[in-house]
Structure 1
Amino acid sequence: MLLKNIVEKNFKYFSYFFSYLGYNIFLLIFLSVLVGVFDGFGLALFIPLFEVAVDPAKSSGSDTLGEFSFLIDFLTNAGIEISIGNILTFMTSLFVLKGFFKFMDSYFKVSLQISFVKRLRFQMLDGLSHVSYQHFVGLDAGRIQNTLSGEVYKVTGAFISYFNTLQHAVLLFVYTGLALISDWKFALLVSIGGFLSNLIFKILFRKTETASITISNKGHAFQSYLIQAVQHFKYLKATSYFAKYQRKLVNQIHEIESFQRKIGFYNSLLNGLREPMILVIVVFVIIIQINFLGGTLSSIMLSLMFFYRALNYVISIQSSWQMFISQFGGIVATSEMIKMFDSGKEENKTTNSMGDFGQIRLDQVGFRFKENGDVLKNITLEVNPKEAIAFVGPSGSGKTTLVNIIVGLLEPTQGNIRINGVERSALDLSVLRGKIGYITQEPVIFNDTVFNNVTFWAEKNPENLRKFNQAIELANLSEFVAKLDQRENTPLGDNGVRASGGQKQRISIARELFKEVEIIVFDEATSALDSDSENVIQENINSLQGKYTLLLIAHRLSTIKNADCIHLIKDGQISASGDFETLMSQNNYFNKMVKLQEF
């Protein structure tokens, strides 16, 4: 437990990336080590190169290489003369090897980046796909959109910055090790100085991390307000509220900018301090080494060459780490989003399939949201195949909640549901929902062609074209499609802007008919339509009656006049049931509702 706490505290970022990439990280580290080693060997050869250049008669330059004399010994043992040309050739070969491993290192990092981002996106999309509807309705739409579309790019940047930091740290370790081999006293003093200077940078890193997380949270709120501005644009414009709402958005932008400015200040301060501090440390150590520790100039030069490389990576580490911290909020946002999706994951405990829909029976079903009281109480009813069942009642009575329970979007908090005599929990929800069509008050239209909207991007082959034509015929869309310039290939625009409300509803109906469903839900399907469009949709509903099981939720009672059974819902309970004429004659409340609508 202690070891786990130490790892989580000190290597939490490494653990995060390791969970996605596994042991590939260590291969990347190994490639970085090879880059540093071959580069260091090549640098070490500068000392004998200079010596031979000054004194061509010198037969060996290994005297001043110390622990690196094996490089010159390698040439000697191979029978190669120690000359400027041969040393340069050997040095070049080492740098070519370094270049090869540098290429492998860079390309492998790009491959890991692509793999990581793809897995992260898939994980979030999979989480969204499997989250229950009941959990989803409690989530912040702005936060979801900001995380999936914006914060994920920050995670990509954080990945690049983190692995740049990791590779730079590996190279720093390699060059520091080479410097220690060359002159351990000099290297040790510079390392101590570098460690002390890093304490100052650590304070700035913490401040940057806090600001980054705050920016992500502010971004969630801004996206949420922005989505609402687009959704309610008509209202805000018509009432002159947009100017006030705009000020709210402007304030959010100012707050985000303020924290971005803080990060910019910390980055600028770090950039200004790095090189002067490093130079002061090196100069100070050289003075101590020569005057007090008796170091030789050649050993200091060799060690200094390694430290020249190492100190460059010190600067690079601090730059890339600062960049990582500034984008760290994206990792927090995506991790929290994944946890939120996982915590609301819908349990599908079985893969048992089912045949055609038979009878659906609810026994003493109740439902309540955690934060509210009972929405439904003691609901007992039956839905038989190919019946048209309607649910009416005042707003907030629980009509939509009841239908959402019937079709499996919500699970009852009491009672049970049986389909074909089998507990619904024993059936595969994905198979069950594949047999259900859902027509909402606001039609779901995608920014694509008529064909793709109806077929949900099915392959355009003869069989699917036949099914498409059959679906639009049943939905009374054939004439509309025939008049379009590109017929079924005509784009409908954002949210179906090129179609009327009634046409969009019929496209929604055609989609469900193409899907070959058994149950179709009409949730206030005509409440937002004009009278002519309502009549067309009503004709659609009438034409489907007896062919499909229809569940109708309606405020406009004219749409459910021909229903086989109407359930009047009041205060979360079924207060009366029967056909239209029976309720008219026996239920005063229903009779009053009908008369108020004057039809």
Structure 2
Amino acid sequence: MDLKKIVKKNFKYFAYFFGYLRYKILVLILLSVLVGVLDGFGLALFIPLFEVAVDPELNSTSESLGEFAFLLDFLANRGIGITIGNILIFMTFLFLVKGFFKFLDSYYKISLQIAFVKKLRFQMLDGLSHVSYQHFVGLDAGRIQNTLSGEVYKVTGAFISYFNTLQHAVLLFVYTGLAFISDWKFALLVSFGGFLSNLVFKILFKKTETASINISEKGHLFQSFLIQAVQHYKYLKATSYFGRYKNKLVNQIHDIENLQKRIGFYNSLLNGLREPIILVIVVIVIIIQINFLGGTLSSILLSLMFFYRALNYVISIQSSWQMFISQFGGIVATTEMIQMFDGGKEDVKVYDDFTRIGEISLQRVGFKFKDGVEILKDISVTIQPKEAIAFVGPSGSGKTTLVNLIVGLLEPTAGLLTVNQTDRSKININDLRKRVGYITQEPVIFNDTIFNNVTFWAEKNQPNLEKFEMAIRLANLNEFINNLELREDTPLGDNGVRASGGQKQRISIARELFKEVEIIVFDEATSALDSDSEKVIQENINSLQGRYTLLLIAHRLSTIKNVNRIYLIKDGEISSSGDFDSLIQNDDYFSRMVKLQEF
């Protein structure tokens, strides 16, 4: 087995954090060693302090200190007498220096924690931003939200607990080493007893780790159900289904709390067993040392002081490690989320920028998802700049998928898609998307002011205010905003609760106009509106024709009477195309659709 495998198997948690912090971890370990060594030296001086207190005339205590006699030699070589006052001053100096390094140690750990959490969050946000749309639609929204908002805090707690464990382990080795120097027989016996007791604790650690991972999985599921409860609240309330749906949430809460209770039981059991086990070990070792190994009282006393410190850190290690294991599920969840994001990363090629979008051409384009289901086949469409193009057809026919292909949210699995006579795979897809505006059936409204919603948090300076005024004028928002007390600084509330459906759609349109796009997609933009609001949005669309390339997906055929060309999509194929009047005359299916809508 090579070194890499050994490290991965036995130090997998250290390797995880080392991947983010690299050699900064070693500085933290070094600071812990310095704290432990200085504290140990200070403790060693208690032996000569006691001896001098008992017999002030005593001139030498080197023998009682054994290997630590160099501390007294240090004073003697500088002409400092071995008195209570001098020993106390030297001890105070050592503990002050220790305190300084303890401060550095504590502050440095906080700095590492902040750096780690920032790096982890940035990595997840970066991963989310680079996931392809096709991969994203297959992910669990509850899992994403729970990981980004909840599990990441568990990782923060796991970080603190792990490095507390690491530092306590370093200090344990330091004090154990000092105890071995003082009396190796005594130290060996206590260490062996500690090893045996740890076998008991290891079983409980494993059970806690399993429960922690299960809590994270249950948390993902709970978040998924909760999101759906909020999204479908109106329906659940109106149909009195909420009570039954609530039971699903209640069951998830019961499962999570039962797992938390199990972890609490393991923690309580560990807390109750630690000190009695350690005390029994120390008592047995002292009896063996004095009665069978002939240890001296002074060497045992010094070694015991070191072990008192060491055993405290044994308890601290077990406590912090138990805490780490209980939060281990957060590390599993975030690691899996990052891997899922990486697995669906969009391949964005960087090519020379293009100045505008010219002709867009689809030549026998097809699309199917990874599961093999074919959505589109043999699609051939050409779109010229500033044309208004509509796609109509029954639900599930592939209209939205086709538009998503055109604007770069999806990539064709067959055929060729070109922009400006260049294969779309050979252009920078982000440059294309910057020139695209997207108006959906459910308007995208953020919980902020009208100005920030339209400008997407642009700086409120004179050029941006002029662009804002132009956008709201084109979107017919002037009257609405001018009648508001705070005008453009009016907050819209969660999901635009303070605005009507038509007003929210016009705000969405204004946002895309402020962005200075070249293509605007209207995806069922009027299907959820009343007749008056639909008429206003239709007037908006008509006013934008000839200024922008418009792509309309419509069920309400009244909204597409004036477009340049209509494509009728059925079963993933284009069944016919033409302007509104020619389709009524030549296509029975389209004509029947128009008659059914009575306009």
1:129-168 alignment runs, 5 A limit: 129-168=129-168
Asked whether the 8 Å contact 2:124–2:338 carries over to 1, the reply is: yes
1:165-176 alignment runs, 5 A limit: 165-176=165-176
How many residues were matched structurally?
599
Provide the C-alpha distance between the structure 2 equivalents of 1:416 and 1:331, rounded to a whole number of angstroms. 42
Output the amino acid matched with 1:307: F
Provide the C-alpha distance between the structure 2 equivalents of 1:169 and 1:311, rounded to a whole number of angstroms. 11
Per-residue CA distance 1:267-307 (angstroms, 9 max, x = gap): 00000000000000000000000000000000000000000
The match for 2:181 is 181
Output the amino acid matched with 1:73: D
Asked whether the 8 Å contact 1:450–1:490 carries over to 2, the reply is: yes
The match for 1:511 is 511
The match for 1:546 is 546
Asked whether the 8 Å contact 1:458–1:464 carries over to 2, the reply is: yes
Provide the C-alpha distance between the structure 2 equivalents of 1:360 and 1:246, rounded to a whole number of angstroms. 49
The match for 1:29 is 29
1:274-293 alignment runs, 5 A limit: 274-293=274-293
Provide the C-alpha distance between the structure 2 equivalents of 1:485 and 1:266, rounded to a whole number of angstroms. 59
Provide the C-alpha distance between the structure 2 equivalents of 1:501 and 1:121, rounded to a whole number of angstroms. 35
Asked whether the 8 Å contact 1:212–1:327 carries over to 2, the reply is: yes
Asked whether the 8 Å contact 2:349–2:429 carries over to 1, the reply is: no
The match for 1:95 is 95
The match for 1:401 is 401
Output the amino acid matched with 2:323: M
The match for 2:486 is 486
Provide the C-alpha distance between the structure 1 equivalents of 2:74 and 2:542, rounded to a whole number of angstroms. 93
Asked whether the 8 Å contact 1:49–1:61 carries over to 2, the reply is: no
Aligned: 1:342 with 2:342: yes
Output the amino acid matched with 1:137: V
Output the amino acid matched with 1:386: K
Per-residue CA distance 1:559-580 (angstroms, 9 max, x = gap): 0110100000000000001000
1:243-322 alignment runs, 5 A limit: 243-322=243-322
Three-state SS of the structure 2 residue aligned to 1:563 is coil
Q: TM-score, normalised by structure 2?
A: 1.00
Provide the C-alpha distance between the structure 2 equivalents of 1:372 and 1:484, rounded to a whole number of angstroms. 52
Provide the C-alpha distance between the structure 2 equivalents of 1:370 and 1:307, rounded to a whole number of angstroms. 61
Output the amino acid matched with 1:249: L
1:15-26 alignment runs, 5 A limit: 15-26=15-26
User: What is the CA-CA distance between 1:339 and the residue it aligns to?
Assistant: 0.4
Asked whether the 8 Å contact 1:505–1:525 carries over to 2, the reply is: yes
Three-state SS of the structure 1 residue aligned to 2:104 is helix
Aligned: 1:458 with 2:463: no
Provide the C-alpha distance between the structure 2 equivalents of 1:223 and 1:265, rounded to a whole number of angstroms. 26
Asked whether the 8 Å contact 1:352–1:426 carries over to 2, the reply is: no
Asked whether the 8 Å contact 2:474–2:510 carries over to 1, the reply is: yes
Three-state SS of the structure 1 residue aligned to 2:495 is helix
Q: TM-score, normalised by structure 1?
A: 1.00
Three-state SS of the structure 2 residue aligned to 1:569 is strand
Provide the C-alpha distance between the structure 1 equivalents of 2:258 and 2:40, rounded to a whole number of angstroms. 44
User: What is the CA-CA distance between 1:25 and the residue it aligns to?
Assistant: 0.3
User: What is the CA-CA distance between 1:3 and the residue it aligns to?
Assistant: 2.2
The match for 2:521 is 521
Aligned: 1:201 with 2:222: no
User: What is the CA-CA distance between 1:430 and the residue it aligns to?
Assistant: 1.1
The match for 2:586 is 586
Three-state SS of the structure 2 residue aligned to 1:69 is helix
1:424-503 alignment runs, 5 A limit: 424-503=424-503
Structure 1's consecutive aligned runs of 4 or more residues displaced over 4 angstroms after TM superposition are none
The match for 2:11 is 11
Output the amino acid matched with 2:225: Y
Asked whether the 8 Å contact 1:445–1:508 carries over to 2, the reply is: yes
User: What is the CA-CA distance between 1:105 and the residue it aligns to?
Assistant: 0.2
Q: CA RMSD in A?
A: 0.6
Output the amino acid matched with 2:516: E
Output the amino acid matched with 1:342: D
Provide the C-alpha distance between the structure 2 equivalents of 1:337 and 1:66, rounded to a whole number of angstroms. 56
The match for 1:53 is 53
Provide the C-alpha distance between the structure 2 equivalents of 1:532 and 1:379, rounded to a whole number of angstroms. 36
Provide the C-alpha distance between the structure 2 equivalents of 1:129 and 1:88, rounded to a whole number of angstroms. 61
Task: Report the identity percentage.
Answer: 78
The match for 1:360 is 360
Three-state SS of the structure 2 residue aligned to 1:275 is helix
The match for 2:573 is 573
Output the amino acid matched with 1:242: F
Output the amino acid matched with 2:21: L
Per-residue CA distance 1:367-422 (angstroms, 9 max, x = gap): 01122421000001100000000000000000000000000000011111110011
Q: Which runs of 5+ in 1 are unaligned?
A: none
Output the amino acid matched with 1:39: D
Three-state SS of the structure 1 residue aligned to 2:533 is helix
Provide the C-alpha distance between the structure 2 equivalents of 1:559 and 1:95, rounded to a whole number of angstroms. 81
User: What is the CA-CA distance between 1:429 and the residue it aligns to?
Assistant: 1.1
Three-state SS of the structure 2 residue aligned to 1:479 is helix
The match for 1:81 is 81
Asked whether the 8 Å contact 1:52–1:83 carries over to 2, the reply is: yes
Output the amino acid matched with 2:136: F
Provide the C-alpha distance between the structure 2 equivalents of 1:189 and 1:416, rounded to a whole number of angstroms. 76
